[in-house]
Amino acid sequence: MTSLVEVPVVTRTSPPALLELRGLAVDYGFGENRARAVDGVDLTIHEGEILGLAGESGCGKTTIANAVMQILRPPGHIAAGTMSFRGENLIGKSEEELRRFRWRNVSMVFQSAMNALNPVMRVGDQFVDAMQAHERIDRRRALARAAELLDLVGIDRARVRAYPHELSGGMRQRVIIAIALSLNPELIVLDEPTTALDVVVQREIMQQVEALKHDFGFAVLFITHDVSLLLEFADRIAIMYAGEVVETAPAGVLATNAQHPYTQGLLESFPPLTGPRQRLTGIPGSPPDLRNPPTGCRFHPRCPHCTRDRPELYRLQTIERPVLREVEPGHSVACHLVAGAEE
C-alpha cells in the first residue's frame, strides 16, 4: 500500500478510482460579476487513499468539497465539467438520489465541525438522526452503533448521553468524524478538520483517522492549508492555487522534488523546527481576485521565475495557461518552466 513506501508507486497498479473530477468549474454569481472559484480542475481519488488538497485562502479547495457533496450555497453553482463516483455521473442527479448518495457513499466533516453539533441534543441522538435519515434502523440499534463508533474514535461510550457543550473541542471533532463514519462511506471529505485544534489534539485525531482508515478501508479527501500536515499523513497531495490544481504528487515526492514555484514557495513558508535557522522569504504579494484573474499562468505576478529577461518564456507565462503535465509517474505539474517550455 502506498502509505508505507517512500518511493512513488507506479500508477499502473494503483487501486481503482473512486471519485473523478474532470474539468470541474464552479462559479459564484452569474454574468459579468461572477467569480470562477474553481476553474477546470482534474482530480482523482482512488480507493483507500488519503488525498490531500492544499492551498491558501481563495484557492477553491473548500468549494470543491462543497461541490462534491453538492451542497454549494447559492449563488454558487457548478458551471462546467463532470464529477463521477465509481463511474456514475453525479451532476444532474435529483435531490432524492443525491440524498442517498450523501453519507452512504461520501460523507463530510466540515470546517467548523465543532459548531455543527446541535447544542440541545445529546450526542447519541445526533447519531440516530444521521443514521435514520439515510437508512432504516431503529433507535436502539442506532444508539448501540453510536456507542461503538465513539469507542472507535477514542471517546468513552458513556458519552453517548452527553451534550456537546460537555465535551472539549477535540472530542467534539471526534464525534463529528464518528458521525461521518456511521454509514460506512467509501469516501470521507475532511475540510480543515484540525485547524481550530491545538497541535497535540491534532496529532491524536490524525492518528485516529489513519487507524480507522486502516480498519475500514475508506478513502479520504483531506483539505487543509497546512501542507506540513499533509506531508506527514497523506498518500498523495494536490496543490491548488487560484482555482486550479498546479501540482499533484505522492507525498514523499512532493517533499523532496516539488516542481511548481508555488509549491516550492509554500513549502519554504514553514520555518523548520530543526536544522539551521535561516531567513525565509515566503511568497510576495497575495492571491488574485477571482473575478479578474491574471492572464496566462495565474501565479505569474508572484513567481520568481517570471521575468522579462527571457521574453519568449515571459510571453508564454502571461498569455497561455499552463496545463497539468506528467513529469514522472504519478507526478504532474502545471507550469511553463517544467516539461518542455524552455529548459
Partner 1 sequence: MTAAAQLEVQGLTKHFAVGTTFARSRVHAVDDVSFELRPGTITALVGESGSGKSTVARLLARLHDPTGGAVLFEGSDVARVRRRRDVLRYRSQVQLIFQDPFDSLNPVKTVRHHIERPLRIHGIVPRHEVDERVQELLRAVGLVPPQEIAAKYPHELSGGQRQRVALARVLAVEPKVVLADEPTSMLDVSIRIGILNLMMRLKEERGIAFLFVTHDLASARYVADDLLVMYAGQIVERGPVEEVLESPLHPYTRLLLAAVPDPAKRLHADRIQERKGVAAAAVDPPEGCRFVSRCPLAIDVCSRVTPPLVEARPHQAARCHVTAPSNLIERTT
Partner 2 sequence: MSQLDPTFDLPLAAPPTRVRGRVRVPGWVVLLLQNRKSRTGLVMVGFMVLIALIAPLISVAHPNDFNLLAARQAPSWQHLFGTTDQGSDIFSQVVLGARRSLLLGAAVAVLATGLAATLGVTAAYSGGVVDDVVNFVINVFLTIPAIPLLVVASSYLKNRSMWTMAVVLALVLWAFEARILRGQALQLKSRDFILAAKATGESTRRVVFAELMPNMISRIAAGFVLVFYIALLTDAGLEFLGLGDMTKTSWGVTLYWAQVNSTVLQGEWWPFFFPGAALAFTVLGLVLLLAGIDEVSNPRLRNERMPRRGLFRQLFGGRLATRAETSA
- The residue ranges that bind partner 2 (CB under 8 A) are 28-30, 35, 57-58, 62, 72-82, 91-92, 95, 111-112, 192, 195, 225
Work out which of 88, 148, 232, 342 binds partner 1, going by CB under 8 A.
Answer: 232
Work out which of 15, 29, 154, 301 binds partner 1, going by CB under 8 A.
Answer: 154
Instruction: Give the span between the Cα atoms of 326 and 343, in whole angstroms.
Output: 16
> To the nearest whole angstrom, how small is the minimum distance from the Cβ of residue 67 to partner 2?
9
> To the nearest whole angstrom, how small is the minimum distance from the Cβ of residue 138 to partner 1?
33
Kindly identify the residues of this chain, within the stretch 161-200, that bind partner 1 according to CB under 8 A: 168-169, 198-200
Buried b (16+ CB within 10 A) or exposed e, 115-148: ebbeeeebbbbbbbebbeebeebeeeebbebbbe
> To the nearest whole angstrom, how small is the minimum distance from the Cβ of residue 279 to partner 1?
7
Q: DSSP letters of 289-302?
A: PTTSPPSSSTTGGG
Do 26 and 60 meet the contact criterion of CB atoms below 8 Å apart?
yes
The site that binds partner 1 (CB under 8 A) totals a number of residues, namely: 40
Work out which of 29, 252, 293, 301 binds partner 1, going by CB under 8 A.
Answer: 252
17-28, strands of its sheet edge to edge: 35-46, 17-28, 76-85, 88-89
Q: Which does 84 bind (CB under 5 to 8 A by kind): partner 2, partner 1, none?
A: none
Query: Cell for 340?
Result: 518542455
> To the nearest whole angstrom, how small is the minimum distance from the Cβ of residue 21 to partner 1?
24
Do 13 and 331 meet the contact criterion of CB atoms below 8 Å apart?
no
CA 321 to chain centre: 23
Question: Which residue, 252 or 301, has its beta carbon nearer to partner 1?
Answer: 252
Q: Which does 326 bind (CB under 5 to 8 A by kind): partner 1, partner 2, none?
A: none
Work out which of 1, 91, 280, 319 binds partner 1, going by CB under 8 A.
Answer: 280
List the beta bridge partners of residue 236: 51, 250
> To the nearest whole angstrom, how small is the minimum distance from the Cβ of residue 125 to partner 2?
27
Three-state SS across 152-209? HCCCCHHHHHCCHHHCCHHHHHHHHHHHHHCCCCCEEEEECCCCCCCHHHHHHHHHHH
Distances, alpha carbon 331 to alpha carbons 8, 9, 282, 338, in Å: 9, 10, 24, 12
Question: Which residue, 93 or 310, has its beta carbon nearer to partner 2?
Answer: 93
Question: What does DSSP assign to residue 273?
Answer: S
Q: Which does 198 bind (CB under 5 to 8 A by kind): partner 1, partner 2, none?
A: partner 1
Instruction: Give the span between the Cα atoms of 333 and 336, in whole angstroms.
Output: 9
Work out which of 203, 305, 310, 321 binds partner 1, going by CB under 8 A.
Answer: 203
Q: Which does 280 bind (CB under 5 to 8 A by kind): partner 2, partner 1, none?
A: partner 1
Buried b (16+ CB within 10 A) or exposed e, 202-236: bebbbebbeebbeeeebbbbbbbebbbbbbebbbb
Work out which of 11, 184, 207, 257 binds partner 1, going by CB under 8 A.
Answer: 207
Question: Which residue, 107 or 111, has its beta carbon nearer to partner 1?
Answer: 111
Kindly identify the residues of this chain, within the stretch 39-68, that bind partner 1 according to CB under 8 A: 56-57
CA 63 to chain centre: 10
Q: Does 265 bind partner 1 (CB under 8 A)?
A: yes
> To the nearest whole angstrom, how small is the minimum distance from the Cβ of residue 204 to partner 1?
6
What percentage of the chain's residues is helix, strand, coil (to nearest 5)?
Answer: 40, 20, 40
> To the nearest whole angstrom, how small is the minimum distance from the Cβ of residue 323 to partner 2?
20
- The footprint of partner 1 (CB under 8 A) covers 6, 56-57, 154, 168-169, 198-200, 202-204, 207, 225-229, 231-233, 251-252, 255, 265-266, 269-273, 277, 279-284, 286-287
